[in-house]
Structure 1
């Protein structure tokens, strides 16, 4: 049977894949929530949900660096990658080893499409459709919640030295917009390096410091508050803003809590 991934690459799948290596932490969590934990044979060192996986599965490297020999030794039936999380070189290497599915996600719609694909690919359609419905219901409820919220101008920091932010064409920016947070860097692409002095001239309502990939802490709030005295600076859980997949079920409740801080 032929399947297409989110890069529109055709995959020839003869049987339901039963030995899965996942190189995308958020999608590893999704596989578990689809009831596929027993079929996972390899993960990255960043696949921390559920935490037991790092003890029970073979770690085949990170999202940007993989151990090819370990992957080959596991004889996977399929490898799951993501266009943003994994490099083009990693995807090409994986394709030479076995069937490789690549996701490409910028919106919740993209996420729901991927869950639907996984449902067909791994013969767990009922669980996939149930999860899709649950996310859609949570999203509808959240849209109602934000209906009366005013738009707030924000910047979402992902790195320090150099200071970098999430801009347009990112899943983070999509979720910021859903929250009615106007990303001050919406006119730029991806993850630009920015100038703090120029940012000081903007009339920001809030600065979000993400927990990942750079682990911002309270001391960084103190550091920035000296420059942005009248701006609310908040540590945010990056998993709720950047982990597409089943994490979205919990994200909307987290966003409600975040709005209460503003």
Structure 2
């Protein structure tokens, strides 16, 4: 009998489905229109989840709230919590999810080798009004580190608010503009280009940069190509 799973993490939902797990519902942000949706990552419908009586609910330490975790545990529902903070854990979580779901991994884990070329610096905006970027301690920064790109962090906050003048002062080699979570239009990109005239501005796939798991090996290759680099896997 298969393990019936509710996944409230987009990366995990994508990974579990690729592994052949029995995902019966997911969050509305998981981009799976054929599955039942049970609210968002930060505001799931706990009652709806309990009604589904899943064997397992999949959460992530950063994506989801401790209050919802505790409510599910109190309802007697087993919970799996991932904690993906870097490239290594983004690869390892595939095996962890396969074990939790009771399915076979299907292929051996992929390994990556350190980047050995000339390194570059980058700022990665993720929001506007206020402008926000990713910090150097995030999963996205770890992905870029493997590609020879050092994220400028603007302090210890993993997602700091900044001014465009801060970006200009940092003098990055690159400004990498992801397709999500914020949809930057051409005018926004032009703002960035004016603020950092010496930087190369590159649009990148936000899911490849921020989603982890089953997509990570191919995401590294696609990001390498977007940045004009060789894959590190």
TM-score by length of 2: 0.90
**Separation of aligned partners in 2, 1:126 and 1:207:** 36
Determine which of 71, 88, 93 is the counterpart of 1:114.
93
CA distance in 2, matches of 1:181, 1:187: 18
Could you list the structure 1 runs, at least 4 aligned residues long, displaced by more than 4 angstroms after superposition.
none
Q: Specify the alignment match of 1:65 in structure 2.
A: 43
The 5 A counterparts of 1:172-211 are 172-185=140-153, 187-211=155-179
Change (3 A) 1:186 1:251: farther
Q: What does residue 43 of structure 1 align with?
A: 26
Query: Of the candidates 200, 218, 231, which is equivalent to residue 250 of structure 1?
Result: 218
**DSSP-derived class of the 1:229 partner:** coil
CA contact (8 A) 1:26 1:244 kept: yes
Quote the Cα distance in structure 2 between the aligned partners of 1:78 and 1:109: 24
Judged with a 3 Å threshold, the aligned counterparts in structure 2 of structure 1 residues 205 and 248 are, in CA distance, closer, same or farther, namely same
Structure 1: unaligned runs, 5 residues or longer: 1-15
Q: Which has the higher helix share?
A: 1
Q: Which residue of 2 aligns with 1:79?
A: 57
Aligned partner of 1:18 in structure 2 is 3
Q: In the alignment, which residue of structure 1 is the partner of 2:208?
A: 240
In the superposition, relative to structure 1, how do residues 126 and 204 fare at CA in structure 2: closer, same or farther (>3 Å)? Answer: closer
Tell whether the 8 Å contact from 1:44 to 1:59 is kept in structure 2 after alignment.
yes
CA deviation vs aligned residue, 1:22-44 (integer Å, no higher than 9, x gap): 000011010011111xx111101
Secondary structure class of the residue paired with 2:25: strand
Q: Which residue of 1 aligns with 2:16?
A: 31
TM-score by length of structure 1 reads 0.81
CA distance in 1, matches of 2:193, 2:71: 45
RMSD: 1.9
Hey, what's the Cα distance between the residues in 2 that align with 1:221 and 1:102? 36
Equivalent-residue separation in structure 1 for 2:65 and 2:209 (angstroms) = 21
* Partner Cα distance (2:194, 2:93) in 1: 43
SS in 2 for 1:256: helix
Q: Which moved more, 1:63-72 or 1:115-124?
A: 115-124
Task: Tell me the alpha carbon deviations over residues 182-229 of structure 1, each in whole angstroms, 9 at most, x when there is no partner.
Answer: 112175231011122132122211111121111122221112222222
Number of aligned positions between the proteins:
228
Q: Give the Å deviation of 1:101.
A: 0.7
What secondary structure does 1:234 align onto? strand
- Equivalents in 2 of 1:213, 1:94: separation in Å? 27
2:90 is paired with a residue whose SS is helix
Aligned to 2:78: 99
**1:123: how far off?**
2.6
Contact 1:34–1:124 under 8 Å retained in 2: yes
Cα-to-partner distance string for 1:35-89 (whole Å, 9 max, x where unaligned): 11xx1111011111xxxx31x2210011111112211111111100001111111
Distance in 2 between residues matched to 1:200 and 1:186, nearest whole Å: 12
